[in-house]
Structure 1
Amino acid sequence: MRDNVNGPRYVNVVHSCSADAGQAVTEIVAQIALEKTRFVLVFIPSTMEPCDVAEALDRALGGVPAFGCTTAGQITPDGYAHNSLLMIAFPARHFRCASILYDQLDPMSIEDIVSATTKHAMRFRHSEGWERFALLFTDGLSNQEDILASTLEAALGDLPIFGGSAGDGLAFERTYVLHKGRFHANAAVLLLLETNLEFRGLTFDHFLPTDTQLVISDANPEKRVVYEINGAPAAQEYARLVGCPVEELCPEIFAENPLLVLHKQRHYVRAISDVTDGQGLSFMAAIDDGLIMTLGRGKEILNTLRTGLDQRNDSGQTPDFVLGFDCVLRRLEIEQKGLADLVSERFHEHHVFGFNTYGEQHRGLHMNQTFVGVAFFGPERRHLT
C-alpha cells in the first residue's frame, strides 16, 4: 500500500480488501472519527453481498448516515481496485447534506420526482457563505438515467448535478444504491450537499469523432437495444464499420470503438454493452430510431487523464481531493493496454477517490466512457464548469 500521509485534509478516505463484509466494515469504521462525521459515502465491490454490508454498517456507524452504491470497481487511495470496500467520511465542519430516495425508477413518474425534489430542496436550510451542488447515484440497470438526469436538472435549476450509475463488475446482473444504510434496486439517491470548500466540476473523455457517420434505423428505446444500423443488422454493420469479425465483438472492441452523439456542439459517447441473441446491440445510454451517430477513435488516454486532472483554482492551488466517477469501459481499455498501474499512480497523486460506473451524469446529461468528478479546494471562492 502506498504512503498516504499526504492525503486529503478535508475528508477521511479508508478502504479494506477483506473479503468478509463485517470485517471490512469494522476495519474502515475504526479509522474514522464518527463523532466528527456528518455522513459517509460507501462504494462496495461486486464480491460482497449488499445485505451483509448494510447489516455491518448499521452496527458500526452509530447513526451516521451512509449513502453510495454497488460498483464496477473502486478508486481507492491506492488507485484502481476490484475487491475493496471504500468509505469516504465527510466531516460536519465542512459539509451538510439532505438526501432523497427515488424508490421506483421503472415505471417513473416525472411529475412526482419534480414535486418531491423541489420540496426537498426548499426544506434544506441554506448556510450563509456555503455553496451547494448535488450528487446522484442511480441503479445502473434501470435504463432510466437519461430521463432522471434531465428531470432533476429541470427541477433544481442552476444547481449542478454530478453522479454515476451503480455497477457490478461487468456482469450486468444486479446493481443497488445505498440510502441511509439500506440498499435498493430500481432506485436512485440524490444528495443535496452544502460545503464551505471551494469546488468545481470536471468532465473529460479521450475520443475524437471520425468522418464515419451512421443512422440507427431500428431500435427499442425503452430497452436501449438497436436492431438495425444503416438498414442492416446492427452487430453486423457495426463490425463492418470497425473492421472486426462479428463473432469477435466484445467489451474491449466496444470500448476502443465507441459511437458518439452530438449535443450542443460536443460529442458524447453512447457505449455498447453487448450483442443480443438476435444480433442487435445493447447500449448503456439513451438510443432512438433515426438517431445519427458518429464512429469515434481514441486519443492517448494517459495524456487526456493528465490534462483533465490538472486542475487549479484562481490562487494556483491544486485540489485537496477529487470525487470521481469513472466509466468501467475506460478502466477496461486501460487494463487491456497494461496502463492500470500508471493510471492508479495518477489517481494517487491527485487524490482521486470514487468508483467505476455503468454511466456518468453531468449537468443533466447521462453519458458513457467519461470521467466525471468534483474537485475540492480550500474554503475560498467557488467555480462551476
Structure 2
Amino acid sequence: MLNAAPPVAPLFGIAVSRAETAEDVVREMSEALIGRDICFLLVFVPDRLELAEMAPALNRHFSGIPVFGCTTAGQIAPDTGYDADALVAIAFPKRHFRCASMLIDPLNPLPIKEISTNARRLAAQFQRTADWNRLALIFADGLSRQEDLLVAALATALDDLPLFGGSAGHALRFDETHVLHGGQFHRDAALLLLLETDLEYAGLGFDHFLPTDKHMVVTEAIPEERVVLELNGAPAAQEYARLVGCDVDRLSPEVFAENPVLVRNSSMYHVRAIQKVHQGGALAFFSAIDDGLLLTLGEGQEVLRTLEEGLGLKDAAGRPPEMILGFDCFLRLLEIETKAMRLDASEILKRHRVVGFNTYGEQHCGVHVNQTFVGVAFFQPRRRDLH
C-alpha cells in the first residue's frame, strides 16, 4: 500500500510504500513521484526488503536520477511517525537543490589523508550559487566502528561546513549495514553528500539526559574494538551494573537505553551508548572509547517533552519547517517503546513534519554521538516566490 504525503512537505516529494516486494515498492515510489523535477532521491530501506532486488529496481525506475540512502534500524514516515515496515523516499526538487556526492570505500582501514583530500576536492569543484546555503550529509556503515574518526576528518576537511548524518542500521540485528550510492548498496562504506539550497535551514541535535554525580574511569579498553574491559578497576559490566543498581545478568538494551554514559566535551555532554555485554564481563560501545576516559552516568528527562521542545523550530518569519530530515537513534526508540510511548512520540514526529530513519549512531557538530536526535529543518526561501 502506498502513501504519498503532500500535506507534510509540499516543496518535497515524499513517498511511503509498504508493498511486499522490492519491485512493487519501487514501482509505487515512481508512480507517486511522477511529474516531479528531481535533483536527487534519499531512500531509507527497511530490513525486510532484499537489497539485491532493490538496487536494480531503483536503477530501472529512476534512470538518470541520483538515488542515495541506506538501510535502517527503523523509518520515520510522515503518515505514521516511527515505522518498522515502510520504505521512505524523499525527492529533493531541482528548483531548490544542487548536490554533489562521494562514496568513501572502504572504511576499514580508514584512509584519513585520502578522505580529507577527496572531500576538499569535491567541495572545491562544487560550484557555488550566489545567496544559496550549503550543508553536508553523511551516512556511514553503522558497524564500521570508524564514524568518530571519519566525521572528525570530514569536519576539518570541509572547513566546518555544517555536517549532519546518521549511521546505517539493520533492524536490531547488528549483522551488516549498507549505504546506497551509484546504483549499488555498499558495506564498509560511507556516503558524503554536499548540498546547496535556496531554502533556509537550521540544524538541530538534542538528547534527554543530564549528568549525575556517578562517575567511571575507563581503566582498561580495546579502543579499536570500542570495548571496555574495566571501569574503576573492576570488570566493566559489573561496575556499570553496580552504579545503575541492577544485577549484571539483567543488563539489556533496555537498561542501556535508559542509563547511558556521558562524555564531557567543553561545556557539552555527549552520549556514549553501550551496545552489549561481551564475554567475560566487558562492555561494547557504539562510539569511541579509550583508556583514561572519564564517563558520567546519565539521568533521563521526560523524553516526550524534550522531543516536543527540540522539534519546535520556527524561521525568522515564525513559520514551521517544510520538513525536518531526522536521524534518530534506535536506542531512543527502544526506550520510548519500553515506556509504551511510541504512539505519542509518533504523533509529535508527524506534527513537526519529521521524515527520516532510526540510526546506529548520529553525526552532529563534527562529533559522532549516540542516543541523540539529529536533524536538518528546511524552511521556505526568504526572498523567493514559491509560486
TM (norm. structure 1) is 0.97
Q: For 1:264 and 1:50, locate their aligned partners in 2 and report how far apart those are by CA, in whole Å.
A: 42
> 1:348 aligns to what?
350
Aligned to 1:159: 161
Q: Distance in 2 between matches of 1:29 and 1:5?
A: 15
Question: What do the CA deviations read for 1:142-192 (whole angstroms, capped 9, x no partner)?
Answer: 000000000000000131000000001111101001113211011000000
Map 1:58-73 onto structure 2 (within 5 A). Answer: 58-73=59-74
Equivalent residue, structure 2, for 1:361: 363
Query: Are 2:3 and 2:16, in contact at CA under 8 Å, matched by a contact in 1?
Result: no
Q: Look up the match of 1:40.
A: 41
Q: Paired residue for 1:380?
A: 382
Matched residue, 1:180: 182
Classify the secondary structure of the residue corresponding to 2:340.
coil
Deviation at 1:252, TM superposition (A): 0.1
Q: Secondary structure at the match of 1:322?
A: strand
**2:263 is the alignment partner of 1:261:** yes
Q: Structure 2: which amino acid aligns with 1:7?
A: V
Determine if contact 1:135/1:163 at 8 Å carries over to the other structure. yes
Match of 1:283 among 276, 282, 285: 285
* 1:105 equivalent in structure 2: 107
Deviations 1:228-248 (A, max 9, x none): 111111111111110111111
* CA deviation vs aligned residue, 1:10-64 (integer Å, no higher than 9, x gap): 1111111123111111111210036500100000011112221111101111221
**For 2:185 and 2:174, how far apart are their aligned partners in 1?**
17
CA offset at residue 205 of structure 1? 0.4
Distance 2:358 2:330 in 1: 5
Q: C-alpha separation between the residues in 2 aligned to 1:129 and 1:216?
A: 48
* CA distance in 2 between partners of 1:232 and 1:48 (Å): 43
Q: 2:242 aligns with which of 232, 240, 243?
A: 240
Q: Distance in 2 between matches of 1:126 and 1:27?
A: 35
For the residues of structure 2 that align with 1:173 and 1:4, how far apart are their CA atoms?
A: 32
Distance 1:346 1:99 in 2: 32
Q: Counterpart of 1:18?
A: 19
In the other structure, the counterpart of 1:191 is: 193
Counterpart Cα distance in 1 of 2:178 and 2:281: 29
Q: Which amino acid aligns with 1:36?
A: D
Shift of 1:138: 0.2
Runs ≥4 residues deviating over 6 A = none
Matches of 2:299 and 2:141 in 1, distance apart? 29
Q: Secondary structure at the match of 1:247?
A: helix
Structure 1 residue 9 displacement after superposition? 1.7
Match of 2:76 in 1: 75
Q: Is the 8 A contact 1:164 1:360 kept in 2?
A: yes
Paired with 1:220 and 1:214, the residues of 2 have a C-alpha distance of 16
For residue 267 of structure 1, what is the amino acid of its counterpart?
Y
Cα deviation 1:242-284 (Å, max 9, x = unaligned): 0111111100000000000000211110000111112100000
Does the CA contact (< 8 Å) of 2:4 and 2:16 recur in 1?
no
Q: Which residue of 2 aligns with 1:227?
A: 229
Structure 1's 62 and 2: CA in aligned 2 closer, same or farther, altered over 3 A? Answer: closer
Whether the 8 Å contact between 2:6 and 2:14 is mirrored in structure 1 is no
Q: How many residues align?
A: 381
Structure 1 match to 2:372: 370
- Quick one: distance in 2 between partners of 1:334 and 1:200? 25
- Root-mean-square deviation (CA, aligned residues, Å) is 1.3
| Aligned counterparts of 2:182 and 2:200: Cα–Cα separation in 1 | 26
The alignment-based identity, stated in percent, is 53
* SS of the residue 2:345 aligns to: helix
* Residue matched to 2:142: 140
- Residue 54 of structure 2 corresponds to 53
Q: Secondary structure at the match of 1:9?
A: coil
Letter in 2 for 1:344: S
SS in 1 for 2:32: coil
- 8 A contact 2:5–2:14 mirrored in 1: no
SS of the counterpart of 2:23?
A: helix
Distance 1:114 1:177, change over 3 A: same
Matched residue, 1:117: 119
Matches of 1:338 and 1:2 in 2, distance apart? 26
Counterpart of 2:85, as a letter, is N
2:298 alignment partner in structure 1: 296
Question: 1:41 is matched by which residue type in structure 2?
Answer: L
Residue 2 (structure 1) shift: 8.9
Q: Which runs of 5+ in 1 are unaligned?
A: none
Residue 28 of structure 2 is matched in structure 1 by 27
Q: Secondary structure at the match of 2:221?
A: strand
Q: Secondary structure at the match of 1:222?
A: helix
The more displaced of 141-150 and 12-21 is: 12-21
Asked whether the 8 Å contact 1:100–1:189 carries over to 2, the reply is yes
Equivalent in the alignment of 2:171:
169
Any conservation in 2 of the 1:34–1:61 contact (CA below 8 Å)?
Answer: no
Structure 1 pair 53/34, CA: closer, same or farther in 2 (3 Å)? farther
